[in-house]
Amino acid sequence: MRIVVATHNAHKVREIAEILSDHEIVTAAEAGFFEEVEETGATFAENALLKARTVSKALHLAALADDSGLCVDALGGVPGVYSARYSGGTDADNRALLLKNLRGEKNRRAHFCCAAALVFPDGRELVVEGRTNGVILEEERGTGGFGYDSLFFSDDLKKTFAEAEEGDKNAVSHRGRAMRQLAKML
């Protein structure tokens, strides 16, 4: 099946193409969709659906979108759907704000969550969620990855996501888990 991935993030497209290797994956731009869909939903699933529906409607093709973020227990699930916009600045600013807000906090438990939505031109919809658990360190470790990776010490890998090889991270990551679920359903 031909599936349009509703993201402009090349890293995500590569990971999705690897997991959904039985299907033809094309980017939104390759399929002629250049708009940025605003993430106005209150949950990861709502945002993923919003993006997938918009792209599927515009192109009359099956469209896949994801939305993800970091949820910290001691902060009541924050930054959550606001993970990318937490500080209003760069990824480094977001990490600095997270450390500041967790200063002196003993409970450092957190998880990454990813919702993936696949919307077909006839209106059928599939939504799945993947999750990966860990703790937020008191200082950064590792230079790989992006976002909050250098602060997230993975329960599965016993290292931060920024210290892990890309393949090892994908094997346990929220996005990898969501996409593999979707691949199975297809």
Closest CA to 149 of 129, 130, 128, 170: 170
Is residue 66 part of the annotated active site? The answer reads no
The smaller minimum CB distance to ligand IMP, of residues 1 and 93, is found at: 93
The smaller minimum CB distance to ligand IMP, of residues 56 and 160, is found at: 160
3-class secondary structure, 164: coil
Which of 27, 54, 56, 68 lies at the binding interface for ligand IMP (CB under 6 A)?
68
Helix (H) or strand (E) holding 27: strand 24-27
Residue of 66, 67, 122, 149 marked catalytic: 67
Which of 6, 15, 55, 67 lies at the binding interface for ligand IMP (CB under 6 A)?
67
**E-state strands within 56-160:** 62-72, 109-119, 125-136, 152-154
- The CA-CA-CA angle for residues 96, 102, 108, to 5°, reads 115
Q: Which of residues 136-155 bind ligand IMP (CB under 6 A)?
A: 145-149
Under the binding rule (CB under 6 A), the answer on residue 84 touching ligand IMP is yes
C-alpha–C-alpha distance, residues 115 and 62, integer Å? 17
By CB under 6 A, which span of 26-34, 61-69, 103-111, 136-144 interacts with ligand IMP? 61-69
Contact positions toward ligand IMP, by CB under 6 A? 66-70, 83-84, 94, 112, 145-149, 161, 173
Residues recognised as catalytic: 67
